[in-house]
Structure 1
C-alpha cells in the first residue's frame, strides 16, 4: 500500500513538472519569434519593450538609407508594430535587390559584387519597406579592391606598402595602436595626405589665401622619390580660412584652434563622404602623430615603410603663441612650428 501511494505521488509530481516546463518553453519561444532583437538600440527613442506575440508589423524602415559603398556595409532595419513598439528587425527581414550589384548575408551585411547601382527593400510577414538606393563605387582606399573588407589582407588596403599607389585617386590608411591615448590603448586609422588626383576627383580647387572657403587646398607639392612617390603631386593645406579659429595664444590644449580652416575642412570632408565607412575623422594631435611615427618602427620614413608622401611635415591641431605644431614623418619626431597660413600635409585620424 505504501509503495502504491509513493508511486502515485511521484507520478503526480512528474506530471506537474512537465506541465510547468511546457508552459514556460512555449512562452520563451513565442517571445523569441517576435522579438529576437529586443536588445537593439532605437534611434527614434520609441518604446523598445518586448513585442506582444499577437502584435503585427505594419511598417518597415531601412534606417541605413541611401548609400555609396566599396566595402561590406551593415544595414539596420526597424519594424513598427501595431502595439506601439518599434524593434530592430535586421536579422528577421529578407533583403531584396533589383540586380546582382550586392548580396546580403543573414546578418544584414551588404557585400558588393560589382560596381553599379541597385535598389534595396526589406520584407517581413508580407510587409515591404520603401526602397533605398545603394551605389557600389570605385574604392577610395589605396591598395583596396572594391568589394573586399577593409583589413590587412591582400586587397584589404590597410597598411598597404606600395611606393606608388598613394599617387592615385585614393588615400593610404595605416592602422596603429596608440598606447598613449588618454582613454587607454586605442586602435586608430591614419590617412596620408591626398594626391592632387584624389582632390581633383572630389572637385577641389586651389585657394592659397587667408579667406579660402569650401573644398579647397593651398598648394601642390611635387615628390621626387626621396620622401614620397616619385614624379607625383600631393595636396597641402593651410590652417586658416574664412571664419577659421586662429591659433590659441593661451596654451596647447585648445582643440578649437584651426577649426573651420582649410586643413580642418579636409578631415570634415572625409566625414561627409564616410571615407572607409567611418565618421569622426579629425586632425591628429602631436601625441597621435608621434604614435603613428613610432608604431612598430625599426627604421625608415613613412615613405620607406608605407609609401606615404612625407617631404612636407604634417599638421596637428596643437597650438600656442600664434603657431601650430607640425611633425615630420621622414626624419625626427621633434615638432616644428608653423603659422596658420603655411601649407603643410594633413593626416586625418579616427578611433576604431
Structure 2
C-alpha cells in the first residue's frame, strides 16, 4: 500500500487497517460499557454465530459473574482515572481459558464523547513457560541444596576417619599406602569444596539487598591475608569507602582474588583492585599479572565446572566464576574479562542502587 500524502495517515481506511493489524484483542467501549468497535482478533474469540451481535452490546452476559464484575470494575477505573492495566484469567465464549494483559485508556472525540480503547495481549503461553521455568529452577535449587547437605555429613565422617588413620597408624603403613591415603585426603578436600560451592551457588537465587558502607582496601587486604597464606602476592587497592551489598560483594571479590592466586604462573605476583564512581554505577577492576586467559576460554570461564587446567594442576571446583557472574547479574550489574598474552582484568559494573532481581 502506498500513501499519496501525509493526511492519508489519518484517513478512516488507514486507521481501520491499523486497528485490524494489531496482534492483540482491540476494542472500543462507550460510557454504557457497550462495545462500539472491535478488531478481527477480538471478534474471533466469539463463536461464529455470536460475532454479529458483539458490536452494540456489553457482551458481559457471555461470561461468568466473576469475570463480568471484574470487566466492569476495570472499565469504570479506566473511565474515572484515564487508564487501567490488569492481568486476568478468563474463560472465553469459545470455551478456551486464556490469561490476558489488558490495558485500557480513556479518550475523547472532537464532539466531546468519552470512550475507552482496550488492547488485550494473550500471555497464556508466556505465563505457562515462565511457570515451568520457575518450577524447574526451584526443583534444581532444592536438589542441589539437599544433595549438598546430605553428602556433607558422610563426607565429613570419611575425612575424619582418614585423618585418624593417618595420625594413629601412618608409621605402620608402607610408602605406597601413605601415597594412596594422601590422594584420598586431597580428593576429600576437593569434594568438600565442591559441595560448599554448590550450596553457595544454590543460595544465590536471592540477593540480600542489604547495602553497607565499608572500606574497599581493608576488605581486599583481609581477603588476601586469608587466601595468600604464604604472603607471595602484593596487592594495591583503592583506599575508599563504598556502599554495596557487603555479603555479595565479599563473595565476588574473594573468588576473583582466589582465582588470580590459583592460576598465577609465578611464585610471586601482583594484584590490583580499583574502583571508579561513574554516574549510577561503580566500575570495579580486579587485575593480576598472571598468564592471562586464552581467547577461546574468555566466555566459557563463567560457565559451571569450566577449568583452564586440570584439578591436579590447579585446585578448584570450577564454580567460582559462575558464582561471581550470577551474583553480579542478580544485583543488576555485569562482568567482563579483558586479557592479553599476560595478565587479566575482570571489569565489574555494579549499580549503586539494587535492580529488581531476575530468575
> Under TM normalisation by the shorter chain, which class is it?
under 0.3
Give the structure with the larger helix fraction. Answer: 2
Q: Which has the higher contact order (CA 8 A, sep 6+)?
A: 1
TM-score, with structure 1 as normaliser: 0.26
TM-score, with structure 2 as normaliser: 0.25
Decide which structure has the larger Cα Rg and report it: 2
